[in-house]
Chain A
């Protein structure tokens, strides 16, 4: 009887998750084919020559190179120049483990973690959307859009965004199920994958607050721990840097050599220098367009009734990088702003409009992959 019930639940879940998993598979095939094309025909001067030595090595381009180096040799900081401490530790740790256990090359490990994490993320995000929006169709559309979102080519590269997205969605889902310790563990892992994932504390606080009346003292304590887990996890990275490199500020220092210095006037600085910089760095133009789009979609989500804590967390994901004085890579950072996808899900009403958006996004995925040597993520 129990087996029968389990079978029924699995079969039911499979049919619920089929649309987003289909879009996940389609988008990954399209993206990987675009990478094959880039690998075969792409310009040789823009990436490290070593990336072209193995099939699909370009999946490990740009930041993927740094994550690979950290996985192989650990952290080190050089004063005055770019250093690998700018990159958070969970993703390279996973690459090291996969390399050690299965013997996979680091780039393969990175791409594997990234692509599979996206499958987990879209399913978890769908279930989350059902609980937040109370509308299965909108949740499905949002999750399907997550699978094909135009900047989502990084979900196939050796980048930690899809891992952070999966862990964040699972942490929130666990909180909805009042499994607070699991939620704390997942939020911890998410924050160690990408610092933006620290913003998960806000919706976790909202979930815990709305559940407070039904919780005893023990569960309340666990709920509080889940809320604070991500910020505390963020603090473990400088702690580790202090232990390993005798420099707790190594993350901030390394950011400075990527042209990022966190200060209150950061957003002003970012916009002030934009017109001059766009000429020499066209990637900033793309990121500015995504910033505006994401911000507009956050407004849409707010107007369509998505809760304030969710909007605030999305705004934090988008806004915090601006305080570093640059819009660079906001298109990628914004991938962790969950209400953006919900806004798309809530806006689309007809099947036809949804299909047009999905196919258009797939086309853009290909375009960004082909332009990868010139426009980094």
Chain B
């Protein structure tokens, strides 16, 4: 009797959850794969076109006084700092440049918040910078970012801002984990000032 009742508890408990809440579809699971890739990185670099100007950017995530800080150094010598609540300096251009830099943590959080809120998601297979990618687009998000991720590993390869006054696109690279490489890329970013 006890065994049968407990089997019913197990079966009904599971069935109620499965029937009522179901499981996520393929599109949100693709975003999960992207996030799973991004959380492995603490820095990124981007070459971006915003309006008519081209820029290089190096993004680095650090912990300062138990607070996560994201610093983006641009090839033209400017720096953007985000401490999780405030971006300095603040302006629409800076916000768009910040988005296009593709910093792993902010991009991860943005993607997760869109999925958690149930924002509609369009996914298309396409090619960008010669790579076979999926284009992920949340039509209701502002700014409307398009994220291009590699079809094989789901790592982001490009970002595009498709709405608002400022249009821009960036090519992203992740995975220069060591300090030496990061410094080299910073130097490289500075030397690209003339772009």
Residue ranges of A at the interface with B (Cβ–Cβ < 8 Å): 66, 69-70, 72-84, 89, 92-93, 96-97, 181, 184, 188, 192, 217-218, 221-222, 224-225, 228-229, 232-233, 235-237, 239-240, 243-245, 280
Contacts and interface: CB of A to CB of B under 8 A. Distances in A.
B64 to A, nearest CB: 14
Contacts of A80: 35-36, 38-39, 108
Contacts of A228: 2, 6
Interface of B: 1-2, 5-6, 9-10, 12-14, 16-18, 20-24, 28-29, 32, 35-36, 38-39, 66, 108-109, 111-112, 115-118
B35 A93 contact: no
A79 B24 CA distance: 15
B118 A72 contact: yes
B14 A243 contact: yes
Contact of A221 (B5, B14, B20, B115): B5
B65 to A, nearest CB: 9
Contacts of B9: 184, 188, 225, 229, 232-233, 236
29 contacts: A69-B117, A73-B115, A74-B21, A78-B108, A78-B115, A79-B32, A80-B38, A81-B39, A81-B108, A82-B112, A83-B112, A89-B20, A93-B20, A181-B5, A188-B9, A192-B17, A222-B1, A224-B1, A225-B1, A232-B9, A236-B10, A236-B17, A239-B10, A239-B14, A240-B17, A240-B18, A243-B14, A243-B18, A243-B23
A161 B22 CA distance: 24
Contacts of B2: 221-222, 224-225, 228
Given A69-B116, A76-B32, A225-B5, A97 B20 contact: yes
B14 to A, nearest CB: 5
A367 to B, nearest CB: 26
A75 B116 contact: no
Contacts of B39: 79-81
A84 B109 CA distance: 13
Contact of B116 (A84, A97, A225): A84
A7 B1 CA distance: 37
Contacts of A70: 21
A232 to B, nearest CB: 5
Contacts of B1: 217-218, 221-222, 224-225
Contact of B21 (A89, A181, A229): A89
Contact of A89 (B17, B24, B115): B17
The 3 closest A-B pairs by CB, nearest first: A221-B1, A80-B39, A236-B13
Contacts of B117: 69, 73
B6 A78 contact: no
A188 B32 contact: no
Contacts of A181: 5
Contact of A188 (B13, B18, B109, B112): B13
Contact of B32 (A73, A78, A221): A78
B112 to A, nearest CB: 5
B114 to A, nearest CB: 11
Contact of B66 (A89, A92, A280): A280
Given A81-B108, A228-B6, 14 more contacts: A74-B21, A78-B36, A83-B112, A89-B17, A89-B21, A92-B21, A181-B5, A192-B13, A217-B1, A224-B1, A236-B9, A239-B10, A239-B14, A244-B22
A79 B108 CA distance: 10
Contacts of A224: 1-2
Contacts of A75: 21, 23-24
A318 to B, nearest CB: 26
Contacts of A235: 10
A245 B28 CA distance: 11
Contact of A81 (B14, B21, B112): B112
A244 B108 contact: no
Contact of A233 (B13, B24, B116): B13
A218 B66 CA distance: 58
A232 B6 contact: yes
A358 B112 CA distance: 43
A81 to B, nearest CB: 6
A178 to B, nearest CB: 14
Contact of B5 (A72, A74, A222, A280): A222
Given A78-B108, A222-B2, A73 B116 contact: yes
Given A78-B32, A222-B1, A96 B20 contact: yes
Nearest to A227: B2
B16 A93 contact: yes
Interface centre among B2, B22, B24 (most CB of A within 10 A): B2
Contacts of A81: 35, 39, 108-109, 112
Given A74-B22, A76-B24, A236-B17, A184 B118 contact: no
Contact of A73 (B13, B35, B108, B118): B118
B115 A244 contact: no
Interface centre among B17, B21, B112, B117 (most CB of A within 10 A): B17
Contact of A79 (B20, B21, B28, B36): B36
A118 B74 CA distance: 56
A244 B6 contact: no
